Amino acid sequence: MLFREVFVAGVPKPFNVPGNYFRVKRVTGPALESLTCNLFRGGQRLPESLDFADAGDFAYVPQGFDRVEITSTVAQTVTIQIARGRVGTDRVTGEVLAISGEVQRSKNEQSFMGRIAVTAIAGDTAYVQLWNPAASGVRGVVNQVTATLTNGTNLGFVLKNYDVALLTLGASSSNKNAGGPAPVLQLRSLSDFGIVGNTWGKFFPAALGISLGYQPTEPFILGEGRGVILETVALAQTIEATFEHWEEPL
| Cα dihedral 73→10→246→52 (10° resolution) | -50
pLDDT level of residue 89 (50, 70, 90 thresholds): low
Do the beta carbons of residue 117 and residue 168 sit within 8 Å? Answer: no
pLDDT in tens, 132-187: 999 999 999 999 999 999 998 889 999 999 999 999 999 999 999 999 999 999 99
Q: What is the pLDDT of residue 44?
A: 94
Question: Do 243 and 186 reside in the same domain of the chain?
Answer: yes
Query: First vs last Cα of the chain: how many Å apart?
Result: 29
Is pTM, for the whole model, over 0.75?
Answer: no
Distance CA 22, CA 38 (A): 10
Task: Assess whether pLDDT exceeds 90 at residue 196.
Answer: no
**Residues 127 and 203 grouped into a single domain:** yes
Q: Domain total for the chain?
A: 2
What pLDDT score was predicted for residue 97?
54
Residue-range definition of the domain harbouring residue 33? 2-88
d(CA 42, CA 69): 14
The answer to whether position 100 is within a domain reads no
Residue 98 included in any domain: no
**Given this model, what pLDDT does residue 217 score?**
87
DSSP for 136-167, please give it: -SEEEEEEEEEEEE-SS----EEEEEE-S--S
**Is 130 among the domain residues?**
yes
Task: Clarify whether residues 133 and 42 are in a common domain.
Answer: no
* Residue 85 pLDDT exceeds 70: yes
Whether 65 is in a domain gets the answer yes
